[in-house]
Amino acid sequence: MLRLFRTTRMWHPRDLRDRYDVVIVGGGVHGLACAYYLAERGVRDVAVLEKQYLGAGASGRNTAIIRSNYRTPEGVAFYDESVRLYEELSARLGYNVLFSQQGHLTLAHTDSAIMGLRVRAEVNQLCGVRSRLVWPDEIRKLVPALDVSDRPRYPVLAALYHPPGGIVRHDAVVWGYAREADRLGAHLHPHTEVTGIDVAGGQVTGVRTTRGNVRTGVVLNATAGFCSTIAKMVDLRLPITTHPLQAFVTEPLKAFLDKVIVSANLHVYVSQTDRGECVIGSEIDPYLSYSHRSTLPFLEATAHHTLELFPCLKDVRVLRQWAGICDMTPDYSPIMGEVPGLRGFYLDVGWGTYGFKAGPVSGRRMAELIATGQTPDLIKPFSITRFWEDRLIGEKAAAAVSH
Ligand code: PYC
């Protein structure tokens, strides 16, 4: 007998109101998490505006790596809170986000790379984050499939081992936050593009969209890839350049890899999902572009470097490849906070290649700022004022791959 199951919607279509207390631009993990944490604080008259479907941008295109083994005390503390939030996220949202803390290894193939990892290990440990240097004998035990011999052109010399790091199911994170934000009263509006932002007397007063105009005193720019375009609507020029970042996935394989492997020297990172597919990515493309096109040179170079690490993958087929776009700041740290001189305009942008792992903490802390008017200590260092106050937070050394 055919049984019909009743499905419930994760979130609901709503009419776009002509006024909200808070408008969040960008329906990815950052915007949705902020809507959720605002609603938790009782700020529920909130609209999330997304020009495509929820999670269509960087939230659905990243390689879902979670870690806090950064280079600066400010970065380590910030991303560590995100790891902790990810640890409790399935229980909090009542939705399994498949967070697998399988451990994360950043490989060094040169003496100078070892020096860089040593500094990160020291900073991590001083900040209470588990990371340590490991050497080829231990690496071999941790990752039996990795070629730790002298065969490769650049043999593996050492690694930064970060046990709390891992991977998550990125769509589930987006859907879980969206469902809970919707349940608590936020309005999620996919297919609603912001075309302008109104300001009067140094105060945000509304947004214009493809579905009508909305009055509001608070706008959060939580976009990735298009943050400069949104900022231009209030005549704000951000110190950001936008680059494509590509990745590909293999056919499913029997489980052989239960660590995230990153090689900055070889410009490649590899993990294996619960479905058995290997998710593989590289550095940002070296040109400015808003293009989502995949390229053959990326696939050839990245496959070549992957085989240096994992020769066992040589006959494996590639299922698909894709690209996202990343907003890069000069110091590889994000820009968060209210813009001085522009009341009601908040930034949660410039995430480069680190955005997805920061979704929970940025959502929580931006919600705290918007709800209370007080900037949380954790995000104070990331204010836009650092660019003219000479307080950069250099996180390039912690990039998964060099750029
Ligand atoms: O920072 O771990 C990372 C990362 C991996 C891919 C892009 N960013």
pLDDT score recorded for residue 222: 98
Angle CA 337–64–51, to nearest 5: 60
For residue 7, what pLDDT is reported?
76
Interval 156-177: pLDDT, tens:
999 999 999 999 999 999 999 9
Q: Encode pLDDT of 235-270 as tens digits.
A: 999 999 999 999 999 999 999 999 999 999 999 999
Two tokens at 21?
Answer: 């207390």
- Mean pLDDT along residues 296-320: 97
Give the count of alpha carbons within 13 A of 2, CB side only. 2
Closest to 402 in 3D by CA, of 210, 287, 264: 264
pLDDT at position 16 over 70: yes
Burial of 199 (0-12, 13-18, 19+ CB in 10 A): middle
d(C-alpha 14, C-alpha 3), whole Å? 30
* Mean pLDDT value across the chain: 97
> Which ligand 1 atom is at minimum distance from the Cα of 245?
7
Say which DSSP state 277 is in: P
Question: Above 70 in pLDDT, residue 336?
Answer: yes
CB of 353 within 6 A of ligand 1: the answer is: yes
Please tell me if the CB atom of residue 95 comes closer than 6 angstroms to any atom of ligand 1. Answer: no
Between 236 and 6, name the one with better pLDDT: 236
Question: For residue 352, how far is its CA from the centre of ligand 1 (angstroms)?
Answer: 9
202-229: average pLDDT: 98
Mean pLDDT within 334-356: 98
Structure tokens at 100: 């697998």
The finding on whether 246 has its CB within 6 A of some atom of ligand 1 is no
DSSP states of 172-239: HHHHHHHHHHHHTTPEEESS--EEEEEEETTEEEEEEETTEEEE-S-EEE--SS-HHHHHHTTT---S
Tell me, in angstroms, the distance from the centre of ligand 1 to residue 254's CA.
24
CA 204 to centroid of ligand 1, rounded, Å: 34
| Helices and strands: H and E segment counts in the chain | 10, 19
**pLDDT-based confidence at residue 193 (cuts at 50, 70, 90):** very high
104 lines ligand 1 (CB under 6 A): no
Which contiguous run of DSSP H or E holds residue 284? strand 278-284
CB 263 within 8 A of CB 107: yes
Question: What pLDDT score was predicted for residue 400?
Answer: 78
> Shortest CA distance to 71 belongs to which of 118, 107, 108?
118
Nearest ligand 1 atom, CA 63: 6
- Per-residue pLDDT tens digits for 63-112: 999 999 999 999 999 999 999 999 999 999 999 999 999 999 999 999 99
Is ligand 1 within 6 A of the CB of residue 332? no
Q: Measure CA 181 to chain center.
A: 19
Nearest CA to 360 among 10, 35, 23, 21?
35
317: CA distance to ligand 1 center in Å? 23
CA of 392 to the centre of ligand 1 (A): 20
Query: How far is it, in rounded angstroms, from Cα 59 to Cα 192?
Result: 17
Residues 6+ apart with CB under 8 A from 233: 194, 196, 197
Q: Whose CA is nearest to atom 8 of ligand 1?
A: 353
Q: For 217-221, what is the mean pLDDT?
A: 98
Protein residue with its CA nearest to atom 4 in ligand 1:
400
Closest approach atom of ligand 1 to CA 398? 1
Residue 245 is predicted with a pLDDT of: 97
Residue 403 confidence (pLDDT) above 80: no
CA–CA separation, 202 and 238 (whole Å) = 18
% of the chain with per-residue pLDDT over 90: 96
Does ligand 1 lie within 6 Å of residue 225's CB atom? no
pLDDT at 401: 75
Say whether pLDDT at 297 is over 60. yes
d(CA 199, CA 234): 7
